[in-house]
Structure 1
Amino acid sequence: MQHIIDRFISYVTIDTQSDSTSNATPSTSKQWNLAKKLVEELKEVGMENVTIDENAYIMATLPSNIEKQVPTIGFISHFDTSPDFTATNVKPQIVRNYNGEDILLNKEKGIVLSPSYFDDLLLYEGQTLITTDGTTLLGADDKAGVTEIVTAMEYLINHPEIKHGKIRVGFTPDEEIGRGAHKFDVAEFGADWAYTMDGSQIGELEYENFNAAEAKITIQGKSVHPGYAKGKMVNAILIAHEFISLLPTEEVPQKTTGREGFFHVHHIHGEIESTTLELIIRDHDRKLFEKRKSDLQAIASKLNTLYSDCLSLEINDQYYNMKEKVEPVLHIVELAKEAMLSVGIAPIIKPIRGGTDGSQLSYMGLPCPNIFAGGHNFHGKYEYVPVESMQKAIEVIVKICELNATKNS
């Protein structure tokens, strides 16, 4: 397991946060630091046709070691980390033989990772955990997935007795800002289907995700001296507040679960003269998703009637539910399920309350379910990953490759 730990730490200590305000690809130049390292590492472990394009998309091949033609499968992860919390100077901490009690992440700041709040920790008593030091995120999303793919390919290369067909791997930038698949060359990748290693808890196997859109509301007000403002002032901040108040109060992330959709207000910037409100729209059901967008249009129309067309609304779709594209080839989910069972893992098949590169890739012609990478509490200081979960993910990748060869030969 030390080999896994060392590889993972070498990745997470490189800052690769993406930036949604940038129009470049990758959105931050520092993502190149890990991208270039991965290219060299893939070559070192023995992968062939290792390429990186001008946008930092990495692809590599493990050639088939059987004579019969079988489907080419792929494994994909992203190497950027979320801009939601700092990833500068990540200092991973290793907790061996976890005892089920509170973990002191940072004594100076009094930051504790506690099973009394994060009860999933109790699933991993006796295991080795990698945590943050309480001041940064960890980056298991999705450097755990990158670690697992590289290590699985290395294992297959070192164990030629395990038969497999042609395997393609791909690593992408900017997934955390919704652009990970935007410039992914599906034709060049050349796989019949793929799996993203980007889930959370051990056992997760997902082929449903949210339909997703982002909305930007811009409100123009009029600033007048408050002592003489009657009938003249238009306070853009208060109109933004009114817009939020017209959203359904129960349909927010903290009050929904499963396949329940939501509106999520995540940014507001403003003054009396001008205020911008940003939110995201999520729903697994396509009809409900479209209705949510219509509901926002209706709120905008209502406020424009009340306040003389002071408001503009821009809605952009981000990705769609991959279920529509995966269900016709459901055998690829069954293959992953069989692989998990073969290595002693109970599959947890459930909808993703989010999105992955796989959701977009599925609509680009590459069906792409999502498999666990093992981490928990992504995008914040309480993030952690059990090393044993990463080990099991590696075993699942290897077994999928093996089953694909034996079942189709």
Structure 2
Amino acid sequence: MNFKLAEGFTVTERFLRYVVVDTQSDPASTTCPSTEKQKNLGRLLVEELLAMGATDAHLDEHGYVYATISSNTEKKTVPVICFCSHMDTSPDCSGEGVKPIVHKNYQGQDLVLPDDPTQVLRFAYHPDLKNQIGNDIITASGTTLLGADNKAGLAEIMDACYQLLKHPEIKHGDIRILFTPDEEIGRGVDKVDMQKLGAYAGYTMDGESAGNMENETFSADGAKLIIRGVSSHPGFAKGKMQSAIKIAGRIVAQLPYDLSPEGTEEMEGFVHPVSISGHVEQAEIDFIIRDFDDAKLAEHAGMIRKITEAVLVDYPESSYELLIKQQYRNMKNVLDQHPQIVEYGMEAIRRAGLDAKLCSIRGGTDGSRLSFMGLPCPNIFAGEHAFHGKQEWVSVQDMQKGVETILHLCMIWEERA
């Protein structure tokens, strides 16, 4: 970089503060945020933003944090850009009592996590560890996730705000900050006030390997298959009972392996049953349907319907209903209309001294939905790895590169205005 960071990076200290705050979201909750404890981190972030000089920082009733770093450029109208990360951690693994450990000067060894020695971060199983020799790796202690997804992004954005306010020589337009709840349960932007945000372009800091930028996500639907069987007393059921539970089992058993998460990779879509519930008379299977091609979502739903109808030939008194709900769409459909947003992001990564790589993500981010809500929003690396599990990790140096990338992005938008 062509300037000296004020008092050095603060990203690591911020990250270590944030991960010990339990912010796990809850898909069974109907409130927003889904768990009140997410606001504990939101309040901390607001306090820090106010302390560094972001005078409008606040936490709203729904658990969203908004703030502005005001423009310091002269005689230029610079488009307003937004940086976004989410505060919640995944419901898949406990986020209570996180004990972060910094493994300094990593040399390629397997890392045994002390609170559960069966949890071993193996060099052979985590490909990006080969790029971390000499770096400082942060893990949890073995009984919880770490929360790098997405508190690494939070810490990077917060440090970047600090640096912008300490370095008036870094010229930039108005920078909006958005921290969201409930991203991990698919509700991260449900209550975003887009008018208040008022940004032209956005960048989520929620990606994996340093240097990567994602301009393409899955398109996603949810599907609920309702099976209505025939119940009767089991002692007198011969020729009468048609168990919805057994019908559901046969349907799941016939789903093709090459259209499953465990049987697909790269640009291949999948159909994934995520839950089964019910009883003899009625059972329900919930699916997630994913593909990069919107048109294939309907094909995948048609496959579920075809299997179901074939199974029900043997159960003539039973019936089914398939309900499809749109979840999010591939943000590339929007980003391709605004190529400079991605181009500036790639240039910022290169200016930070990294090899910039444009990628697709087999998932979604807040940016997927924000893009279709009027805020084109690709996803930039935050350095998080092995997320949603006890072996989650991030490196100090990758987070520092995330901070540098944000600062360069701010400068590029100002330069090009």
Range class of TM-score, shorter chain: over 0.9
Q: Distance in 1 between matches of 2:114 and 2:244?
A: 41
Residues 354-378 of structure 1 deviation map (CA, whole Å, 9 limit, x = unaligned)? 0001010000010001000101001
Number of the residue aligned with 1:17: 24
Residues 323-364 of structure 1 deviation map (CA, whole Å, 9 limit, x = unaligned)? 111101111100011111111111121111100010100000
1:380 aligned residue (386, 389, 397): 389
Q: Distance in 2 between matches of 1:189 and 1:144?
A: 22
Q: Does 1:407 align with 2:406?
A: no
Number of the residue aligned with 1:99: 107
Alignment of 1:32-71 (within 5 A): 32-67=39-74, 68-71=76-79
Does the 8 A contact of 2:345 with 2:409 survive in 1?
yes
TM-score by length of 2: 0.94
- Aligned alpha-carbon RMSD (Å): 1.7
Does the 8 A contact of 2:259 with 2:270 survive in 1?
yes
Number of the residue aligned with 2:3: none
Residues 20-58 of structure 1 deviation map (CA, whole Å, 9 limit, x = unaligned)? 111110011111111111111111111132132210111
Q: Distance in 1 between matches of 2:260 and 2:131?
A: 28
Number of the residue aligned with 2:335: 326
Does the 8 A contact of 1:303 with 1:311 survive in 2?
no
- The Cα shift of 1:213 comes to 1.1
Moved more, 86-95 or 395-404: 86-95
2:35 aligned residue (7, 10, 28): 28
* CA gap 1:364/1:31 in 2 versus in 1, 3 angstroms: same
For 1:371, give the aligned amino acid: I
TM-score by length of 1: 0.95
Does the 8 A contact of 1:213 with 1:317 survive in 2?
yes
- The Cα shift of 1:401 comes to 0.3
Does the 8 A contact of 1:267 with 1:277 survive in 2?
yes
Q: Distance in 2 between matches of 1:134 and 1:219?
A: 41
Number of the residue aligned with 1:157: 165
Q: Does 1:315 align with 2:327?
A: no
Alignment of 1:201-220 (within 5 A): 201-220=209-228
Does the 8 A contact of 1:106 with 1:112 survive in 2?
no
Q: Distance in 1 between matches of 2:25 and 2:174?
A: 31
Does the 8 A contact of 2:9 with 2:400 survive in 1?
no
Alignment of 1:5-404 (within 5 A): 5-67=12-74, 68-106=76-114, 108-224=116-232, 228-304=236-312, 306-307=314-315, 308-404=317-413
Does the 8 A contact of 2:215 with 2:332 survive in 1?
yes
Structure 1: runs of 5+ lacking an equivalent: none
Q: Distance in 1 between matches of 2:137 and 2:248?
A: 43
Does the 8 A contact of 2:11 with 2:158 survive in 1?
no
For 2:71, give the aligned amino acid: S
Residues 291-310 of structure 1 deviation map (CA, whole Å, 9 limit, x = unaligned)? 11222233344445543344
Does the 8 A contact of 2:273 with 2:288 survive in 1?
yes
Q: Does 1:3 align with 2:31?
A: no
For 1:311, give the aligned amino acid: Y
Does the 8 A contact of 1:204 with 1:371 survive in 2?
yes
Does the 8 A contact of 2:116 with 2:143 survive in 1?
no
Q: Secondary structure at the match of 1:216?
A: strand
For 1:126, give the aligned amino acid: G
For 1:59, give the aligned amino acid: Y
Does the 8 A contact of 2:230 with 2:241 survive in 1?
yes
Moved more, 319-328 or 110-119: 110-119
Structure 2: runs of 5+ lacking an equivalent: 1-7
For 1:198, give the aligned amino acid: D
* CA gap 1:108/1:205 in 2 versus in 1, 3 angstroms: closer
- The Cα shift of 1:312 comes to 2.9
Does the 8 A contact of 1:48 with 1:63 survive in 2?
no
- The Cα shift of 1:313 comes to 2.4
Give the paired residue count: 408
- The percentage of counterpart residues that share the same residue type is 47
Q: Distance in 1 between matches of 2:28 and 2:323?
A: 16
Does the 8 A contact of 1:300 with 1:312 survive in 2?
no
Residues 154-182 of structure 1 deviation map (CA, whole Å, 9 limit, x = unaligned)? 00110111111111110011111111111
Q: Distance in 2 between matches of 1:98 and 1:360?
A: 37
Q: Distance in 1 between matches of 2:205 and 2:115?
A: 33
- The Cα shift of 1:388 comes to 0.5
For 2:130, give the aligned amino acid: L
Q: Distance in 2 between matches of 1:277 and 1:240?
A: 7
For 1:177, give the aligned amino acid: I
Q: Secondary structure at the match of 1:48?
A: coil
For 1:332, give the aligned amino acid: I
For 1:343, give the aligned amino acid: A
